Chains A and B, each alone.
Chain A
Amino acid sequence: MDAFFHTFFSWDEMLKAFPVLLTEGISNTLIIAFFASVLGLALGLILTMMLLSGVWFLKLPARIYVDIFRGLPGIVTVSLVGLGLPAAGIRPFGTSPTGYAILAIALISAAYCAEIFRSGIQSVPEGQMQAGRSLGMSHLQTMRKIVIPQGIRNVLPALTNQFIVDIKESSLVYLLGLAVGQRELYFIAHEQQANSYNSSSLVAAGICYLLLTVPLTYFVNWWDRRLRTGPKPKAPSGPNKIPALSTQLTGADS
């Protein structure tokens, strides 16, 4: 039993890990997750526009993109982008792994964001488009002014949820070998564990992840509930049903 506690909850190991985790790890994890999410959102919105365009030569590449990056394990994408690109001589970020890490996580995030945006936009009742068009607005104007703002509002919780996923996915960049100063939570913990054969540093990193993700998860759930049933009803009437977060995430393909 002592061995168990020593392996996972060694006080000395934790005291060694936490200062580095809190000063270097958390900020790097958040930097990777934040920039990957922003890039993923932008790329995801473009992909959604392509998916909903109704034009096959826009729709098909977007569909293929989404299928590939949702279908691949994150670790494969991170390896291909972070190890593969520089090896092939494509080095937009020089030798700094952080740039490749952000790109890789963003590429994955974009595929999920595209499906989230799509479900949001499709949850806006057809009557909104009809009302815009009947006033003489073009399809594009109606999308920009009427449909997309409502669609995004409907999926804000799901997008926040994607940010949580990106925080967790950011751990995969340990593969790319980070220098001191660039290290994110998992890399720091993993390094220490490899030296000491003691897992307490990983537990410490786990605690840091939970500090970020658990409050956000509860916030998302609260927000999602409030948007659908909240103090301010969303729709004047008519079938403006926002699908529950769980169905948006699992049923996005149907």
Chain B
Amino acid sequence: MPTATAEVAIKIRDVRKSFGHLEILKGIDLDVAPREVVCIIGPSGSGKSTLLKCINLLQPPTTGSIEVNGVVLTDPQVDLNGARTKVGMVFQHFNLFPHMDVLENVTTALTTVKKMSRKEAEVIGNAQLAKLELSHLAHKRPADISGGQQQRVAIARALAMNPEVMLFDEATSALDPELVKGVLDVMKDLAVSGMTMVVVTHEIGFAREVADTLVFMDDGAIAESGPAREVLTNPKTDRLKEFLSQVL
């Protein structure tokens, strides 16, 4: 097997995560290639979100290793804050900063982490908002815009850091049904543009259409994985068959 690191954007090896005596992740191995889109599905409580938060160490794994573009994030010596700027994350509840307007939400990490001047940051921020057709909201507060707009701002906030990898944690689960499509469209465009993405989702249709690889998690382990269409059309395990029969 070739070992060139460029072949793998994200390398997850035997990741386990326990909270007290409760083992949430029971040994996960997963590779994500550059430009690949991986969708993770599975019943709630199966550990999908925990796995995603292990990738940027918001939830540090109990054991195992995480490597993103050659940087071993689980190495205690590594500059974790620097590494996290290259891993964007979008949350189920958006987690926008309510005391800042939309533009400040997008620029605050540019000025604090990347030490840009306010002006430089606003150029990047405004360009990013324009790309997602959010320019007209630049000076609104998160509380004054819709959930779909909030989530797109959250995506713009992550993209403004120019990440190499994007993680989506049930990005549409908290949205009203009519707002889901707008957010999925942005994610689709991002996938087409070649972004490496790991997407935890309940949107099977999105997974079928956009994902290269589908991962089905159950009870803290990967129960089945493979090319998305194949896995969804021809599930091998009974657990995935049962899961699909319930969500489709």
* Chain A residues at the B interface, C-beta cutoff of 8 Å: 125, 127-128, 130-138, 141, 145-146, 149-150, 153, 232-238, 240
Known: A135-B85, A136-B109, A150-B99. 8 other contacts (CB 8 A): A130-B53, A131-B96, A133-B81, A134-B56, A134-B88, A150-B98, A236-B94, A237-B94
Q: Check A236/B84 contact, CB under 8 A, given A130-B58, A135-B161, A141-B112.
A: no
Give the interface centre of A132, A136, A146, A232 by most chain B CB atoms within 10 Å. Answer: A136
Query: Are B96 and A236 in contact, with the CB atoms below 8 A?
Result: yes
Show 24 residue pairs from A and B whose CB-CB distance is below 8 angstroms, ordered by the A residue: A125-B95, A128-B97, A130-B53, A130-B89, A131-B91, A132-B109, A133-B81, A134-B84, A134-B87, A134-B91, A134-B158, A135-B85, A135-B108, A135-B158, A136-B83, A141-B113, A146-B97, A150-B98, A153-B99, A233-B143, A235-B98, A236-B94, A236-B150, A238-B95
* B residues with CB within 8 A of A: 53, 56, 58, 81-85, 87-89, 91, 93-99, 108-109, 112-113, 141-143, 147, 150, 154, 157-158, 161, 174
**A146 nearest CB neighbor, chain B only:** B97
B151 (CB) vs chain A CBs: closest residue: A236
Contact A135 B93 (CB under 8 A): no
CA distance A125 to B93 in the complex (A): 11
B99 touches A135 (CB 8 A): no
Which A residues are CB-close (under 8 A) to B96?
Answer: 131, 236
In the complex, chain B residues whose CB is within 8 Å of the CB of A130: 53, 58, 89, 91, 95
With the chains together, A236 CA to B85 CA distance in Å? 24
Given contacts A150-B98, A236-B143, contact A145 B112 (CB under 8 A): yes
Residue among A125, A132, A149, A236 making CB contact with B142, cutoff 8 Å: A236
User: B95 touches which one: A128, A145, A233, A234 (CB < 8 A)?
Assistant: A128
A136 touches B94 (CB 8 A): no
Closest to B110 in A: A135
> Are B91 and A149 closer than 8 Å at their CB atoms?
no
Contacts of B108 in A (CB 8 A): 135, 145-146
CB <8 Å contact, B95 and A131: yes
Q: Which residues of A contact B89 (CB under 8 A)?
A: 130-131, 134
Contacts of B94 in A (CB 8 A): 236-238
Closest Cβ–Cβ distance, residue B201 to chain A (whole Å): 18
Identify B98's interface contact among A132, A138, A234, CB under 8 A.
A234
A238 to B96, CA, bound (A): 11
How far is it, in angstroms, between the C-alpha of A235 and the C-alpha of B58 when the chains are bound? 22
What is the CA–CA distance of A237 and B82 in the complex, to the nearest angstrom?
29
Nearest CB on A from B91, distance (A) = 6
Q: How many angstroms between the C-alpha atoms of A145 and B99 in the bound complex? A: 10
Taking CB atoms, residues of chain B closer than 8 Å to A236 are: 93-94, 96, 98, 142-143, 147, 150
Write out the residue numbers on chain B whose beta carbons fall within 8 Å of the beta carbon of A149: 99
Q: In the complex, what residues of B have CB within 8 A of residue A141's CB? A: 112-113
In the bound assembly, the distance between CA atoms of A137 and B108 in angstroms comes to 9
Top 6 nearest A-B pairs (CB, nearest first) are A136-B85, A135-B109, A131-B95, A127-B95, A134-B89, A238-B93
Is the beta-carbon distance between A237 and B81 smaller than 8 angstroms?
no
Residues of A within 8 A of B154 (CB): 131
A130 to B97, CA, bound (A): 11
CB-CB under 8 A from B158, the residues of chain A are: 134-135
A149 to B81 Cα, complex, angstroms:
22
Partner of A127, one of B56, B88, B93, B161: B93
How far, in Å, is A50 (CB) from chain B's closest CB? 23
Question: How many angstroms from the CA of A137 to the CA of B113 in the assembled complex?
Answer: 6
A133 pairs with B58, CB closer than 8 A: yes
The reply to whether B174 and A237 contact each other, CB–CB distance below 8 Å, is: yes
Chain B residue, CB-CB nearest to A135: B109
In the bound assembly, the distance between CA atoms of A133 and B89 in angstroms comes to 10
Residues of B within 8 A of A131 (CB): 89, 91, 95-97, 154
State in angstroms the CA–CA spacing of A53 and B93 once bound together. Answer: 26
Contact A136 B113 (CB under 8 A): yes
Q: In angstroms, how far is the closest chain B Cβ from the Cβ of A223?
A: 16
By beta carbon, the residue of chain A nearest B175 is A237
Complex formed: what's the CA distance from A233 to B143 in Å? 6
